[in-house]
Amino acid sequence: MLVGLSDQLARIMESVFEAYLGPDSVLASAVGQAVGSGEPEDIPRRNTDVWVLGKKYNAIQELELIRRDIQSRLWCTYRHGFSPLGEVQLTTDKGWGCMLRCGQMVLAQALIDLHLGRDWFWTPDCRDATYLKIVNRFEDVRNSFYSIHQIAQMGESQNKAVGEWLGPNTVAQILKKLVRFDDWSSLAIHVAMDSTVVLDDVYASCREGGSWKPLLLIIPLRLGITDINPLYVPALKRCLELDSSCGMIGGRPNQALYFLGYVDDEVLYLDPHTTQRTGAVAQKTAAAEQDYDETYHQKHAARLNFSAMDPSLAVCFLCKTSDSFESLLTQFKEEVLSLCSPALFEISQARAVDWDTTEDIDWPTMPDIDWPAGTSDSDSFAIVEESGRDSDAGCSGASGSGKKPSESAVI
């Protein structure tokens, strides 16, 4: 009897050990989860399509290609340690500059696509002269064309104090002015007001002496009051599928984000809410410059359900030629605007007579800013003392209301 009881107890103990230590055990599962937690959840592990700036990928078969594509975009984030900015002498944009950074990312994507092509991929060893010209333009020094200094100081001409949040429409208007000082970029920006693309205005911006100047078209939208109206989601998805897509400037309530693609019902984004040191890529000859270049690239995008997006956003498109713009208009009419009612935006040949527009604003010339001489990009930059990164969980602000473009308080 004792022998039988002993054998029965042994079998019970074996089953217990198997349950906790076997290949399909509780412990193995817990260990697997702990080990797996180090793997980012940027792209879902299922057989589905992933769209990144007009390119379609398979989530399982092309995972590393998706990550290479995302990593090749410029990731513009909060910085600290730059030269004092404004009357309050700010040396960081943490807590107020995330919408400005999203504007930088859209413009950087347009320049990369225009000058390097949509199929270009970045690598840590990249010293391509054209790439360096582009990234130098976003370094946070006073004489960089699209630095935080230039954007914030130009914002003052729209009665936005340095350190004050800017909405997507204001950032778009500022970038529109700044590109006019950058001959090398060879880019025109048109901001479509009141959710309407006015063709006469676009042609006036891009047709110079019979030739077409490449166009970055930015269309600010308000797609709800406090939450995005779900009827617009299919049209937003289609915008991200178009080969001319430069993504979207937007966010979730109180946080600005750069949307560059989607998977199923989730939008993919790069988040500027990481604070990094200020420095310089320059010509990327020194080890410190090579390391600093890597701070402009993020391999893993994050995901957000479309329903969680802030209703204030701007869709962005690059048209390199007149034909590509006409082709985009056809896609708008046949593939985007028909997906919801009311339509995502409107297209009009001419502007309404009483339409108020920022063209009527007496924009000042650039005061107290040291622009680079000519189109030279050989200026040297000082390396600021190195420090680590830290993340910023959120920003403050409040939402507006109405369907027309509005500056939602995301910074």
pLDDT tens digit string along 299-340? 999 999 999 999 999 999 999 999 999 999 999 999 999 999
Which domain covers residue 136, as residue numbers? 63-348
Could you give the angle at the alpha carbon of 301 between the alpha carbons of 300 and 306, nearest 5°? 160
Confirm whether 26 is domain-assigned: no
Q: Name which residue leads in pLDDT, 135 or 19.
A: 135
Which of 62-66, 89-93, 158-162 has the lowest average pLDDT? Answer: 158-162
Q: What is the pLDDT of residue 64?
A: 96
- Among the listed residues 273, 316, 340, 395, the single catalytic one is 273
Q: How many residues does the chain have?
A: 411
**190 has pLDDT over 80:** yes
Residue 76 among the catalytic residues: no
Residue ranges in 167-222 assigned as alpha helix (H): 168-178, 199-206
Average pLDDT of span 112-124: 97
Nearest Cα to Cα of residue 364 among 167, 150, 158: 158
Residue 98 among the catalytic residues: yes
Confirm whether 103 is domain-assigned: yes
Q: What is the pLDDT of residue 38?
A: 63
Confirm whether 141 is domain-assigned: yes
**364 has pLDDT over 50:** no
**18 has pLDDT over 80:** no
Which range, 12-16, 161-165, 270-274, 385-389, has the best average confidence (pLDDT)?
270-274
**pLDDT tier for residue 216 given thresholds of 50, 70 and 90:** very high
Confirm whether 284 is domain-assigned: yes
- Exposure letters 43-76 (e unless 16+ CB within 10 A, then b): beeeeeebbbbbbebebeebeeebbebbbbbbbb
- Among the listed residues 42, 113, 201, 271, the single catalytic one is 271
Q: How many domains does the chain divide into?
A: 1
Average pLDDT of span 56-72: 97
Confirm whether 42 is domain-assigned: no
Confirm whether 375 is domain-assigned: no
Could you give the angle at the alpha carbon of 367 between the alpha carbons of 361 and 369, nearest 5°? 130
Following CA atoms 135, 88, 390, 312 in sequence, which dihedral angle do they give, to the nearest 10 degrees?
-70
Following CA atoms 248, 115, 200, 221 in sequence, which dihedral angle do they give, to the nearest 10 degrees?
0
- Among the listed residues 42, 76, 93, 98, the single catalytic one is 98
Q: What is the pLDDT of residue 14?
A: 45
Q: Name which residue leads in pLDDT, 395 or 176.
A: 176
Which of 50-54, 91-95, 107-111, 205-209 has the lowest average pLDDT? Answer: 205-209
- Can you name the residues that pair with 318 across neighbouring β-strands? 216
Q: What is the pLDDT of residue 225?
A: 92
Q: Residue 339 has which token pair?
A: 């997906």
Confirm whether 106 is domain-assigned: yes
Confirm whether 155 is domain-assigned: yes
Amino acid in the structure at residue 128 = D
**26 has pLDDT over 80:** no
Q: How remote is the C-alpha of 218 from its chain's centroid? A: 13
Over residues 225-242, the pLDDT tens digits come to 999 999 999 999 999 999
Residues 6+ apart with CB under 8 A from 129: none
What CA–CA distance (Å, rounded) separates 127 from 146?
20
Q: How far is CA 62 from CA 43, 57, 200, 216, 351, in A?
A: 10, 6, 42, 29, 45
